[in-house]
Amino acid sequence: VYYTAHNTIVTKKSSGIKSLDDLKGKTVGVQLGSIQEEKAKELTPDYNLKVENRNRISDLTEEIKAGRFDAAIIEDIVAEKYIDKNEELVGYNLPKEPDEKAGSAIAFKKGSDLTEKFNKALEEM
């Protein structure tokens, strides 16, 4: 794993939502087939979430702005860009799980010449 992403609650600044507890009983959007969709489903029993999915992140932010979603759960780096472009939106990170192992990685065939080159490029970055 060379990068670990975290989940962010994206909502309108005026929503009053500032934490996971504030999502209780709310409608939350997630991208279809995403890790965030799995996370929302996992949180539903404890927070009584109504989870709606859409194909694209832009659809989620538009649903929030239109008032059809109270919030969305989006990967932090992606959420940051949408928040930067929409001044009515704000983001709050979900609590990080201590044993969270999800992240981004690249797999190469065992013994590949690319492994060393890739690792060197990562170190330079």
Looking at the domain assignment, is residue 32 inside a domain? yes
* Joined tokens for residue 2: 């060379």
At residue 97, the pLDDT reads 65
Looking at the domain assignment, is residue 1 inside a domain? no
Distance (Å, rounded) from C-alpha 20 to C-alpha 92?
9
Please name the amino acid found at residue 6.
H
Domains identified in the chain, total number = 1
Looking at the domain assignment, is residue 101 inside a domain? yes
* Cβ neighbours for 15, distance < 8 A, ≥ 6 positions apart: 70, 71
Distance (Å, rounded) from C-alpha 47 to C-alpha 118?
42
Domain that holds residue 35: 7-124
**CATH at residue 14:** 3.40.190.10
Q: What is the pLDDT of residues 30-75, one digit of tens each?
A: 999 998 999 999 999 999 999 999 999 999 999 999 999 999 999 9
Looking at the domain assignment, is residue 78 inside a domain? yes
12: β partners: 89
Q: How far is CA 111 from the centre of its chain?
A: 34
Instruction: Yes or no: say if 33 and 21 are a contact pair by the CB < 8 Å rule.
Output: no
Q: What is the pLDDT of residues 93-107, one digit of tens each?
A: 988 765 556 667 788
Residue 10 host element (H or E): strand 7-12
The pTM of the full predicted model, rounded to 2 decimals, is 0.81
Instruction: Yes or no: say if 19 and 8 are a contact pair by the CB < 8 Å rule.
Output: no
